[in-house]
Structure 1
């Protein structure tokens, strides 16, 4: 039986874990920016990298990080609280499967049209060779929203079961991957090494949380069942959140578009300023 005292102790412990992880992640985020600046500065290659990140960021932050967390997790957690774990995991499987299929299709289309996205919408002011580099990097970085999306879903599932440690420290591993990419890989591979670090960090971000769910009895499977209890509620909640997140993220695309027209290395400078 959970007593008020034990519940209070659990809340305090989880708050301490999340707080410590947040501070560490922010410190590593600052280190990440420092090492990237030391390696690339304001340069043509880093302009291309920043432009390449815009579509993957939009996909992840709109669909998975924002909409998934605010729409799915409350419904999933409510089912677990009512001891309806069978339907909770059915819902999780269905939502995650649909989301990954949709993200996969969008990512594939974006890979095929990466040059057009860069030249027409994201950074039309880049030089032709920069735009081509940005398109190639976009195709690589499109793996990250799929991996980070899985990580965001796993985070919510873990936290709904009162398991906060792995989800709290997952962003730390993501930043470590990028730092390693900038310090170890970039001197040899250039900006491709930085992109490889992003993918490695995203793999670790999702992987450590998947291990926690698996050990806790995760019952996810691929399912496109449209008749799962709670699915309609989740979809109804996702709509407004997706629109809100999309409007916010489009601002960054517009700013990158303008910066690319100003002059050499303006995209890099604007990104550091943020």
Structure 2
């Protein structure tokens, strides 16, 4: 197996159209999309090329893809100036189907057969690295949360989600979409929507629109501990229609916590910005440190 940590010399230009059409690959290997695995194939090489280009310059950066499927985005990533592309795929059918792309990549493409939920991308490639992926819808959020916890290890994440999820990532306080995922994402990253894709762009067409989002590590995130921020946001948004003095009762003396950080006890979760939640997390952490549980 090719060593995924050894960056090769720049390879000749890769032409995504030089290989057999993706529909032909699907027919040849019998690659029906599995709903249970959240598979929807993007076969238009113009669109996969747009996604790859939207990730920005890949000079010296290893591109990591999750769920390459028949290889549309994989081909597009090889057409960038990324010195190496690593694709993580758990479905054995696609491992075989991607061998033509591996052979045409001049050593730049490595396929890792694994469940992306159990793989640490940092162990696959040295920095700098970036993730570019059309994520399987059924595992998109847990994958994102895992990467956000260590987002400083990546140049960027350029990811496709269901539009509803993408809207939550970039939602601002006061909006209906603003919630736990908004806070965690925007605490760790600068997130922006790049473009939308209609259901007809996919095979089979999903029932919803899709959106490509780019996340770049935030240079100076608000100080907070991940575990505690998750606990605070879970309590706050778990009863989002209630005032915070009520929804945060599980944290103990919620009104004192809120007054300590300058948030009105009558506020609701969707009214508090990321800085406010981080301040709450710090207050909870300080209280825990001052009152450790009995052994």
Which TM bucket (shorter chain)?
under 0.3
Larger Rg: 2
Which structure has more relative contact order (CA 8 Å, sep 6+)? It is: 1
Q: Normalised by the size of structure 1, how large is the TM-score?
A: 0.27
If each structure's strand is expressed as a fraction of its own residues, which one has the higher value? 2
